[in-house]
Structure 1
Amino acid sequence: MKEITDIVNAFDEAIKQGKKTALATVVSVEGSAYRRAGARMLITEDGQLTGAISGGCLEGDALRKARLVILQQEPLLVTYDTTDDDDAKLGVGLGCNGIIHILIEPVSDKHDPIRLLKVIVASKQPAVLVTLFSVDDRKARQPGTCLGLTNDGVMTANTISYPYAGQLLADANEVLNNKRSEHPTYTDGVIYTAFVEYIKPTIALVVIGAGNDAIPLTRIAAVLGWDTTVMDGRQNYLLAERFPQANRLIVARPEEVLQHLQITEWTAFVLMTHNYNYEQALLAELIPLGLPYIGVLGPRKKLERMLDELQSTGMSISDEQRGNLYGPTGLDIGSEGADEIALSIVAEIKAVLSSRNGASLKYKQESIHATDQ
């Protein structure tokens, strides 16, 4: 989602400067590639690039083709085939073994895929984006990014009609429900493929505690584009100059925390106030919500004592709820100091919300992205 947000911001700046743009999207990958389907890059007519469609080896060639697309105002499907080991003939060194299909679209009043990206970013919900293209007939019309879908409704990028509208909407609804991207095909003379992409919303990180050790946590989260809130009961700790990269700072007692937040399945909490009573009172509020990640800084014995005391008051805590509690919070990477601890916490949150175990890729037997949606 951060890449999409960066593209939206870069597009707005390009418009201010009167620059024409094109959007390059990896719509399909066969075999191995550095970026997967859904990678995007905004290209301005003067060569500014935002986002990435490869590890840096395709960007130069894509820039040349994007300038042609901007000039002709027609989408172009480009394929890079590196299944032949001699990829030097392409003029790029991909270092992988796959076929990468990239659709480059001009952005205009008639066809504005960026508008769909803006709605998706603003919605803070899971969304689906549909990009229609034809590998079978490259001279056929390439409709491009044509349809967006969130729980709030349907959006279109075109002022002109696009083929298979009804089928595309049905497939988009199915992907939104199943939370898994698909590549259905349609045929009526020309064979079209749709990249029906499931887009996860931005992770919302709520840091409870505004001590010095919370500062690097918000900095790393900002690099990833996470929506970060810092909350504490101490007004003098919650200062903008201490947390310049946090999205919001809120003073609240434990029983007031939830009043200030919109909780979703992409919300993660980290409790690091170093205040036993505050965190115990807050856990009583958070545990019943079934949140995917609640991290508690400090030793395991501290968390177990909190839970025992909560249960002694009559509170019921299920095994599933215990499974969503991470204390000590963070991955075991040998962290020393606040910066490294923050790194381990962010890595664990990302692993949990991606349904991964945080193990080294060295020991992964299948493809790195084999289980991705």
Structure 2
Amino acid sequence: MKEIIDIVSAYEKATKANIKTALATVVLVEGSTYRRAGARMLITEDGQLTGAISGGCLEGDALRKARMVILQQEPLLVTYDTMDDDDAKLGVGLGCNGIIHILIEPINDSQTNPITLLKAIIESRGYSVFVTLFNIENRKAPQPGSCLCLADDRLIVNGSATLPYKSELLEDINNVLDTKRSAITAYEGYTAFIESLKPLISLIIVGAGNDAIPLTKIASVLGWNITVVDGRPNYVTAERFTSADTLLISKPEKVLESIEVNEWTAFVLMTHNYNYEFVLLKELLPLHPSYIGLLGPKKKMERILDELEESGTTITERNLETIHGPVGLDIGSETAEEIGLSIVAEIKAVFSERNGYSLKFKTSVIHSAK
């Protein structure tokens, strides 16, 4: 999602400067490649690149082709075969041994376009589906490209795209929405990359001490939506938390009046104030957020849960599964920056349904289908 946010931002800047752009999307991969289907890169006519379609080996050639696409205003499907002797040098530095199909589309600023669809994806509060349609059998045939998206139950169609097999596409879109897994679907003469996209993680950091500042900075690199909450006005300031999207000064019993909690909301409690966190947890646990992290020793977590039960709060098995105390992965953290890194890594692992162990011990492929 961070890549999409950066692409939309770069497009808006280019549009204001009257600079033409094209969007390159990895639509299909075969074998081992650096990026998977769904990787994107915005290319401007003056050579600025935002996002990535490889580890750097394909971008130069893609830039040359994108300039032609911008000039001709016609989409182009390009294939790089790193198993072929002629193309192998492009991916040899990364150990690539596969085939990468990339669709490059001109962006028409005057109508609904691929960037319009990406904006809807960013704003979505749930899973979204993005469809890229291409003709791999006949590269000279029309390439519909980024043709539509489904976000928040709203279907948005690219104004310039033709939609062959629309009824079949809609059925396959609903299947992807149900399974939450991307799919490659073949129709007669066309192939569709039907991409399942997760919404942004909303990180609620409760506590505005100095140790929360690195956490906001690390999370912002990933593009997460960040809210910092504290009851102390002199701590919750824009000067201290430059990476936060929202700053909230609140008593613990009022915090949730200003925050929407859904399955993509993560809470990290690091106030160093036992009573504040006790009151907030009492309000928070019945809402069953997907992740609650408690800074501090395990004894603190056990004590606060015991006292909550004694006061009449029911602690369910579901609560215990989502509470992480002490918060973070065990990476030997000591400094605030290292602790912030371990917290962000644990949240990412939880929302990706991964264990957070070293990839050297993984017996299957690194990237499963999305």
Q: TM-score range by the shorter chain?
A: over 0.9
Task: Identify unmatched segments of 5+ residues in structure 1.
Answer: none
Is this contact kept in 1: 2:120–2:151, CA < 8 A? no
Deviates more, 1:341-350 or 1:256-265: 256-265
Shift of 1:202: 1.1
State the AA in 2 paired with 1:162: L
The answer as to whether partners of 2:145 and 2:161 remain within 8 angstroms in 1 is no
Letter in 2 for 1:198: S
Name 2:262's counterpart in structure 1: 264
Query: Structure 2: which 5+ residue stretches go unaligned?
Result: none
For residues 6-155 of structure 1, the aligned pairs below 5 Å read 6-84=6-84, 87-88=87-88, 93-108=93-108, 109=110, 112-155=113-156
Which of 274, 282, 300 is residue 276 of structure 1 equivalent to? Answer: 274
What SS does the aligned partner of 2:292 have?
A: strand
Trace 1:311-330 onto structure 2 (pairs within 5 A). Answer: 311-330=309-328
In structure 1, the residue matched to 2:333 is 335
2: CA distance between counterparts of 1:268 and 1:44? 36
Farther-moved stretch of structure 1 (336-345 vs 165-174): 165-174
How far off is 1:125 after superposition? 3.0
Q: Which amino acid aligns with 1:116?
A: L
What's the offset of the Cα at 1:95? Answer: 2.4
Q: Aligned partners of 1:115, 1:130: CA distance in 2, in Å?
A: 13
Instruction: Work out the percentage of aligned pairs sharing the same amino acid.
Output: 64
Distance 1:28 1:161 in 2: 20
Inter-CA distance 111–153: structure 2 relative to 1 (3 Å threshold): closer
CA–CA separation in structure 1 for the residues paired with 2:92 and 2:319: 50
- Letter paired with 1:56: G
Q: How far apart, CA to CA, are the structure 2 residues paired with 1:281 and 1:303?
A: 14
Q: CA RMSD in A?
A: 1.5
Q: Secondary structure at the match of 1:184?
A: strand
C-alpha displacement of 1:90: 5.6
The secondary structure found in structure 1 opposite 2:74 is coil
Q: Does 1:238 pair with 2:236?
A: yes
- 1:197-229 Cα offsets, whole Å, 9 max, x none, are 011111110000000100000011111111000
- The aligned counterpart of 2:221 is 223
What's 1:171 paired with?
172
Q: Deviations over 1:301-320 (max 9, x none)?
A: 10011111111122221222
Q: Which amino acid aligns with 1:284?
A: K
* 4+ residue segments displaced more than 6 Å: none
Q: Relative to 1, partners in 2 of residues 1:158 and 1:275: Cα closer, same or farther, differing over 3 Å?
A: same
Instruction: State the Cα distance separating 1:81 from its structure 2 match.
Output: 1.1
> Are the equivalent residues in 1 in contact too, given 2:57–2:90 (CA < 8 A)?
no
Cα offset, 1:281, TM superposition: 1.2
Task: Give CA-to-partner distance per residue, 1:54-107, whole Å, 9 cap, x none.
Answer: 000000010011011111111111111123477446697552111111000011
Deviations 1:296-351 (A, max 9, x none): 00000100111111111222212221010000000000001111000000000000
TM-score (norm 2): 0.96
Residues 237-268 of structure 1 deviation map (CA, whole Å, 9 limit, x = unaligned) = 11111101100110111111111111121110
Question: Which digits, 9 at most, give the CA deviation of each residue in 1:15-66, with x for residues without a partner?
Answer: 1111111000001111111111110000001110000000000000100110
Quick one: which amino acid aligns to residue 48 of structure 2?
Q
Residue in structure 1 matched with residue 159 of structure 2 by the alignment: 158
Going from structure 1 to structure 2, the CA distance change for 1:159 and 1:8 (only over 3 Å counts) comes to: same
Q: Is the 8 A contact 2:206 2:270 kept in 1?
A: yes
- How many residues align? The count is 369
The 3-state SS of whatever aligns with 1:104 is strand
Aligned to 2:184, what secondary structure does the other structure show?
coil
1:356 counterpart SS class: coil
Distance 1:211 1:318, change over 3 A: same
CA contact (8 A) 1:82 1:94 kept: no
The alpha-carbon distance between structure 1 residues 232 and 76, as it changes in their structure 2 partners (threshold 3 A), is same
SS at structure 2 position matched to 1:283: helix
Structure 1 pair 90–308 and aligned structure 2 pair: CA distance change class (3 A)? closer
Paired with 1:341 and 1:89, the residues of 2 have a C-alpha distance of 40
Distance 1:57 1:138 in 2: 23
Within the candidate set 194, 197, 210, 1:212 is matched to: 210
